[in-house]
Chain A
């Protein structure tokens, strides 16, 4: 009943977890739940975000990934309404929200600094959004209790933010954003203020909460591991533009250009030449006798061959496709990271820690790979 009071007309998708069939799309049936169409933001003549197109399905977890200054946070702020787009349209649940002020968008936002109200207890922080929606006291208490138990904070309801750890504050911020049942949850670098171990833990926790509630989520991050591990799809941005939108697996295995491949995971690039051979391509790696054919049509001319360190194998000297000399080796616990100098350049190899340590620095090794694991990218490799 109280929900009905707080539900403004024209926002049919306020209640999450309901059947998608209930969503009225105002005659645009092909539309996704959240649509960004040609959204741009100019500061003077500089484009912070340029022609951003994205369709987000209900319940999806999307990450905006890119280096700092790529426009990912500006994009998020345009969805929250804290920044006005210079052009383009944002449509949520069939409603144009491009120029709606933030309070009327009713989105759940988790800020990088958490932005908790320092003068309020955890319960009061969570309660704030409900009070703004004029939810009755008993209903409010019930929902605060539910959400705090979801984020495992029931015992700390009366603490002030400054009395809590970073991870706990993070949970409060998530609870505060979720308690108002927003149609979309927006996370701005939610884990960047946590230490490494906690970050990994919270990452899975975030995914658990997101899946429990089933809420459409957009997360901004510069951490590729974070984006890969918990998103349904990743949007890679560079200089204000989208460079690739894909599932984490596709993105990792089939990066579209060398920016993505080097930003997402570690990679090796080899200079090579590619020529069409009637069926696929004949690839020859510079400075080496290595030649192989591919089945797919590849770019012609100067190309870079991209291969992941874990797809390379160390072999006995004399075996494998190429010979090299170990220059460095780092022990990472679950694996070794070995660099080997080869005629084709320095190659990084990830060697799983299976008990036997890899060869020492200065020793000669062979390197082997499967040609199918190589990706051919247009343009000469930088290194």
Chain B
């Protein structure tokens, strides 16, 4: 075990690392500037349990209605050996619909990584669909296995990642937030699939950067396929994974002896977490299990109100400082002169208008 791995194990507190999936890897791209998150995720700490332990449980429940609907739609799309799926994907890609394709379900077996590797790198370029492949990705020096609910479609000699999602596309439009989440998740799979081919000495560009998203159309259950270009997401992902690979640099900023061991006393745990710098933004609430803890800690900071607010306040970090500068009771640092002048003018105008001076 390397020093880094040893250190990450200590942070975890000796328990096995929590497993990543495409969703958690995709979530890593959300707030790249956050050391706390990068360290905890690299160590594979169980963040939901940690958040609960320090008194700020996350709220990422999933309704069983949504799960049921998702499963039903996926089963429907994949029925009949993927015949309907093949037609949808081929038509969307603009290639002739093949008479048939081989359907390989790589799920449910013992020896999945090896079977997946063998199946996906086997010679041949006939139309083929691979369901439930097991893919691997290196995250912070550890091999992470992904078990995507996806189909890798090989058509006209190229692989396309096919994602089946149950949110609707209504008159050609879908919820932008859901599409964005699907795009970044798909990018994780594209990356893993490319790594797999590259490791086998094949051209990684055989995996297309265009992924096929299959969703229900309008208000009914008929599937419709759309293309998503995930080149941008691939870049973001690659950058974040590289950053996590340099975890040593990040660990240098972490106090020695820092541990997120879940059995520790909650107050000790919270104190230890405070020693690792976070970069809380309101967007974290939708992506990170520890967000409520970080929000509580960031109270009184302008960043907790959102980046646009902080920028409009001249980048001054603390609310108390903003108000002191605005009231002129505090002399600005040289680099704050401009912000302070703006804040004083704003405070004067605001007071003016609120006390009913004519405007």
**Binding between chains A and B:** no
